[in-house]
Amino acid sequence: MKLLFMVAPTVGDEVRAALRSALQELPAGSRAGCEVCAVTPEDSIPDKVREHMHEGIDGVVAVGGDGTVSAVAHALVDTQVPLGIVPAGTGNLVARELGIPLDIHAAVALAAGAHSLRAIDAMLIDGRTYLLNAGVGVNAAVIDRTSRLGKSLFGRTAYVGTAVWKVLQAKPQRLTVTIDGEPRTYDATDVLISNCGTLARVLHPNGPDIRADDGHVDVCIICMKVAIEYPWYYFLRSLFPRHVNRIIHELQARCTVSIRSESPMAVQADGDIIGTTPVTVNLHPKALSVMVPEAR
């Protein structure tokens, strides 16, 4: 089995050393089939993956965070080449969603050893592939204002303080959300389009079950007028459902979701700011095969 390990430029020396150690621990036959490609900041990860596709590789393993995983996935969509993941980012939400070990050695052993393949859905936005979520409003503002230094120092907790501050600052914006061709207008503070449920369960614990392979994306629209309304959703939904139902709208899309705003708003996808509204998300069901732990 020939595996290509794509190492993101953001991966630190400690992770690189752990990767080398994990590869050395593999059986000789498996180790011989592993090639490491260190990506530079100037490189396009999808292009680097495609350069190696003609070599007959059996899988490409993304070593990095969720942005790196999505970039590698972009080159593998609609191919027969599966994606492996060695989580080395801040959130590692794709790995968490699919049950992939967060330990470097265990993740390498999984990719190079026994594993199952799981076909998952993908989102296409402006010609790029994303796996987790996309959105505007509070969720995009939090990502836009959380610095890379803060994430490196404090990990996922770096988002918490920013999130609280942005919720307190949030003001409704007139948004037109078109789901599978049907437009609806909201005065909303947040729109989150979720393909995976890990982040959605944190932000919206009372929301629906969200899976990466269910053939649709879930759209959560929060129409909060004042910051105090958030506790109504998080803590008092079972006691005051009518009030909460005026704050949040949960919908599903099987093809496309488009968001338009009266003035440009930042758009995030898989934890990176990718532009401003308007934005259209196209769902691509079962587009990608991922190496996951074997079912017990």
The rounded distance, in Å, linking the Cα atoms of 160 and 88 is: 20
Across the range 151-179, mean pLDDT stands at 61
Q: Above 50 in pLDDT, residue 157?
A: no
Q: Above 50 in pLDDT, residue 154?
A: no
Q: Say if CB 247 and CB 229 are below 8 A apart.
A: yes
Across the range 95-102, mean pLDDT stands at 95
Q: Say if CB 260 and CB 175 are below 8 A apart.
A: yes
**Domain 133-283 class, CATH top level:** mainly beta
More confident residue, 200 or 46: 46
Q: What integer pLDDT is reported at residue 242 of this predicted model?
A: 58
193-250 per-position pLDDT tens digit:
999 887 676 666 556 678 899 999 999 898 877 656 666 666 655 565 555 556 678 8
Given strand 266-269, what is the order of strands in its sheet?
A: 248-253, 217-222, 190-194, 133-137, 266-269, 272-276
Q: Say if CB 111 and CB 292 are below 8 A apart.
A: no
Q: Above 60 in pLDDT, residue 152?
A: no
Give the residue from 288, 294, 251, 236 showing the smallest Cα distance to 113. 294
Q: Where are the domains of the chain?
A: 3-114, 133-283
Residues in the chain: 296
| pTM score | 0.83
The rounded distance, in Å, linking the Cα atoms of 199 and 201 is: 5
* ∠ Cα 94 114 16 (to 5°): 55
Superfamily of domain 3-114: Probable inorganic polyphosphate/atp-NAD kinase; domain 1 (3.40.50.10330)
Q: Say if CB 72 and CB 58 are below 8 A apart.
A: no
- 99 SS3 class: coil
- DSSP secondary structure, 113-155, as one string: SS-EEEEEEEEEETTEEESSEEEEEHHHHHHHHS-HHHHHHHG
